[in-house]
Amino acid sequence: MDATRGALAALLTGIAATLVVVALAILPFLSPAWVSFGQARAQADLWTGFTPAQLQTVSNQILADLVLGPPDFDVALDGVPVLTEAERAHMRDVRGVFAGFFAAAAIGAVVLVALFLGARGPAARRRFWRRLERTGLVIGGVTVVGGALGVVLFEPAFTLFHEIFFPGGNWQFDPRTDRLVQLFPEAFWVESTIAVGVTVILLAGAMSLVARWRGRALASGAMVARSAPLVAGPGAGR
């Protein structure tokens, strides 16, 4: 029974920590600063024909609808809608995927707090930190391998991702005519994916190091506590 509980706790720790790390890694890239930077590198202004001011206005409105809502995605320039209804429907689906993921990450954070609070006593806390340390190493390793494959096989990976999360097929747009893929060209997504992956690796590494430090600190404290009676014992008998 103890082994089953331990395995379950390790699994919950791994899943919850992974969700939290990935969510934290994504957040900086949902900012206007990153979107503007990425679009400039991907030459979105040339794809769209927009001026820099128009590009920023349109992109910021789409980003605000995605992050803050309501998910209307009805941005217009001179009274003309920028996105078609098909593109707006896809963005509403994207927002649904994001909302579901961040809700899962929030639950993951609650689970981690509960596991930490439930680990009472130095031995249980050491096990908790060891699980976090190992989870960080696994996240980092999987991200490195997956990221390398993703860069080499970006098109198939991109297609597979959309087929899983958008099974309706409303994600296929023509960069020659559709504004959504002109605003966010493939180069934008390649660099954003790499940047998120690097951030995941850094956060996972930091988590693993902190967890190792906490685990060792608890182990050292336990050793000192066990040795204290041995040191005090002879003196007490004199």
Say if 183 falls within a structural domain. Answer: yes
Angle 132-137-138 (CA atoms, 0-180°, nearest 5)?
A: 95
Q: For residues 128-143, give the mean pLDDT.
A: 94
Q: Is residue 235 part of a domain?
A: no
| Residue 230 within a domain | no
Q: Indicate the residue type of 215.
A: G
Report the first-to-last Cα separation within the chain, whole angstroms: 47
SS3 of residue 18 by DSSP: helix
Check whether 181 has a pLDDT greater than 70.
Answer: yes
pLDDT for residue 238: 44
154: pLDDT confidence band, cut at 50, 70 and 90? confident
Is 88 inside any structural domain? yes
Q: Which domain holds residue 160?
A: 2-224
Q: What are phi and psi of 167, to 5 degrees?
A: -65, -15
As a whole number, the mean pLDDT across the chain is 88
pLDDT tens across 83-95, in order? 999 999 999 999 9
Q: Which residue would you say has higher pLDDT here, 153 or 75? A: 75
Report whether pLDDT(120) > 90.
no
pLDDT of residue 237: 47
pLDDT value at residue 169: 67
Tell me whether residue 236 is in a domain.
no
Q: Is residue 231 part of a domain?
A: no
Residue 210 lies in a domain: yes
> How far apart, in whole angstroms, are the C-alpha atoms of residue 208 and residue 132?
6
18 in any annotated domain: yes
Count up the domains in the chain and report the number.
1
